[in-house]
Chain A
Amino acid sequence: MSLSSDGSGDGRGRDAKRRRVDEQGGRFDEAAVATRGADAIPAVRFSDLPIDLRHRILMLLPIKDAIRTAALDQSWRDLWKSRWHPISSRDIHLRPRDIPSQVLDALEAGPRLRLDRFSLVVENGKIRPRHLKRFLEYAAECRVQDLHVDLRRGNKLGPKNLSFHFPLSSPHLVHLSLRGIAVSNMYYRAARPFSALEVIHLHSVRVSELTFKKMMALCPQLRTLDLRRCDFRDFVHGAQALVPPAGENLTSITIADCKGEVRLGAVAMHNLRSFRYSGNYQASPFFLPGDAALDHLYISCDDPVSRHFTLFPNYFDEGLPDDLSHLTVLTICSNALKLPAISDVPLEKENVSEEVWLEPSESRLSNLSMVKARQGVSAFGSDPGPAAWAR
């Protein structure tokens, strides 16, 4: 677009008054700009953008995109947290000596600024259900997008009988992370769906089968479900059944060290690409849909091993999909796997991705004797490597 055409383009002519009185009187060389631009593409770095412009950019981005700008450099890394001044991330850590009602009063005295993230960590025996509810109401009023609630029970003072009321959460939730809390069965009637919610992490969470189903039914866009150390044995039916929802958009499911059966077989999950399992397969087996087309499969078994027990063959026949030909990364960890006979070299730690030693079942992996992998080893909750960044 040229200046002159723009100046007269609206037909009023008044803009055409902008006049170049350059001593050279020549044409303004836009071609030079274009040439410079073409040459400069690799050289231009948006690395030293003014800070207030970065804020403007971040405020225009959905939270996930804003967080991903961390890929650029250190100066961008934590900048997204300040998208909404003065702070957009609120961390509350209730320690044993804190008085919950005082913390709440201070919190509620302030305005309800929009929050990207609200984190509540409780190591305090004085917190009561009404306190917890007020904290969570505050988070909802701040239209929080990333909610983390962690009740720690390391000592006798640990909170008891506290419930999370999922339907009362912020409708803007994108990520929900719960730890050490029960999910209540209340408020589901006429609850609105959480149309932005994409990721749920539950760690040591108590939730009944019925409640879990209702919860999942409110998450039509859920893509990632991560369940760790949850106990599914006390379900209403007394049996061991976890039946996630329609789950049409689920692409990744992780089941780690849970108790009870994980039965996904009856559900159509056309988008499921990644499944990660860790646990005692005999006691807490999983059953994937037969037609799932997985890219990534991670299985870590800590079944007791004896000389008379062999893990393979056909061990997972019931649990795995029929067709595994799409797999690009397969990781298997088990005590039952023997070192190949041809190898007389002890397996060194550095031969295996470190994360495999740390995750997921901690000390029980000390007997790990072999990792089988194609195209690299991947373990969850760990360094994903460059491939994941390019995804």
Chain B
Amino acid sequence: MAAPESGDGNNGAARMVTLISSDNTRFEVEAAAASLSQTLQLTILDGGGGGGDGIPLPNVDSATLSKVLEYCIKHAPAAANGGAPNATAVDRAELERFDNEFVNIDQSVLYSLIMAAHNLEIEGLQSLVAKKVADMIKGKSPMEIRRTLGFPDPTPEEQAEMNAHMLEYGWAYE
């Protein structure tokens, strides 16, 4: 990915803020996009993140943050329209396509994304990753669920607990 080099001043109207990832990478992004994060919104409203300051995000590494911002940038226009009553079906379909593509990612990336969406309180992204995980679980046997979500095979103790639960809710396993 090449960082866009046309940053400065080609749209002076939009306010920019700087976010600093845990590994000290600086990201400059429109305030409107960053404000999709409830966590960042207040800071930005208070005038934080501008100039040379930057907002440190010690829980988010640069790889994850760039992914998160990709989402925010894409969704910021629709969010600015207040859920977009005037959004066209085409726009919505485009966002949906983007979302589907966006979570079509490796599990470790997904996991980092989940934690970042949670820490930054980005509502839409939280729904999106939750849906992704739900889709990974749906229609699977208990063992398949474990493997899909990266759990090791159960110890005998865990197996006993699983069996006890299965006895209680046997109908859900039939």
Q: How far is the CB of A37 from chain B (nearest CB, A)?
A: 3
Quick one: which of A243-275 are within 8 Å of B by CB? Answer: 251-252
Residues of A within 8 A of B69 (CB): 3, 18
Count of chain B residues with a beta carbon within 8 Å of a chain A beta carbon: 76
Q: Is B141 an interface residue (CB 8 A)?
A: yes
Give the interface segment out of B42-50, B81-89, B125-133. B125-133
A251 (CB) vs chain B CBs: closest residue: B174
Specify which of B126, B133, B171 is in contact with A224 (CB 8 Å cutoff): B171
In the bound complex, how far is the Cα of B16 from the Cα of A20, in angstroms?
A: 12
Specify which of B29, B63, B149, B163 is in contact with A384 (CB 8 Å cutoff): B163
Q: How far is the CB of A74 from chain B (nearest CB, A)?
A: 7
In the bound complex, how far is the Cα of B120 from the Cα of A223, in angstroms?
A: 44
Interface SS majority for chain B: helix
Contact indicator A16/B6 (Cβ below 8 Å):
yes
Q: Is A53 an interface residue (CB 8 A)?
A: yes
In the bound complex, how far is the Cα of B66 from the Cα of A30, in angstroms?
A: 10
Contact indicator A71/B146 (Cβ below 8 Å):
yes
In the bound complex, how far is the Cα of B102 from the Cα of A2, in angstroms?
A: 10
Contact indicator A14/B101 (Cβ below 8 Å):
no
Q: How far is the CB of A172 from chain B (nearest CB, A)?
A: 15
Known: A57-B130, A68-B142. A44 touches B163 (CB 8 A): no
In the bound complex, how far is the Cα of B169 from the Cα of A77, in angstroms?
A: 11
Quick one: which of B15-71 are within 8 Å of A by CB? Answer: 16, 18, 25-30, 33, 62-63, 66, 69-70
Contact indicator B107/A37 (Cβ below 8 Å):
yes
Contact indicator B150/A44 (Cβ below 8 Å):
yes
Residues of A within 8 A of B4 (CB): 4, 7-8, 16-20
Q: Is B93 an interface residue (CB 8 A)?
A: no
Contact indicator B129/A18 (Cβ below 8 Å):
no
Q: Is B96 an interface residue (CB 8 A)?
A: no
Contact indicator B174/A47 (Cβ below 8 Å):
no
Contact indicator A3/B26 (Cβ below 8 Å):
no
A32 (CB) vs chain B CBs: closest residue: B63
* Residue among B33, B109, B140 having the largest count of chain A Cβ atoms under 10 Å: B109
Known: A28-B66, A50-B118, A65-B138. A19 touches B5 (CB 8 A): yes
Contact indicator B172/A36 (Cβ below 8 Å):
no
Residues of B within 8 A of A133 (CB): none
Contact indicator B171/A199 (Cβ below 8 Å):
yes
Contact indicator A72/B146 (Cβ below 8 Å):
yes
Contact indicator B166/A384 (Cβ below 8 Å):
yes
Contact indicator A45/B149 (Cβ below 8 Å):
yes
Q: Is A346 an interface residue (CB 8 A)?
A: no
Contact indicator A2/B1 (Cβ below 8 Å):
yes
Q: Is A6 an interface residue (CB 8 A)?
A: yes
Residues of A within 8 A of B92 (CB): none
Q: Is A354 an interface residue (CB 8 A)?
A: no
Interface of B with A (CB < 8 Å)?
A: 1-8, 10-11, 14, 16, 18, 25-30, 33, 62-63, 66, 69-70, 73-74, 94, 98, 101-102, 105-109, 111, 114-115, 118, 126-127, 129-131, 133-134, 137-146, 149-152, 154, 158-159, 161-163, 165-167, 169-174
Known: A32-B63, A223-B174. 12 other contacts (CB 8 A): A1-B102, A2-B2, A17-B28, A40-B107, A53-B126, A65-B140, A73-B158, A381-B170, A384-B166, A385-B163, A386-B159, A389-B142
17 CB < 8 A contacts A-B: A3-B1, A4-B2, A4-B4, A7-B4, A16-B4, A17-B11, A17-B16, A21-B27, A40-B108, A41-B108, A67-B173, A68-B137, A70-B142, A73-B151, A199-B174, A388-B166, A389-B142
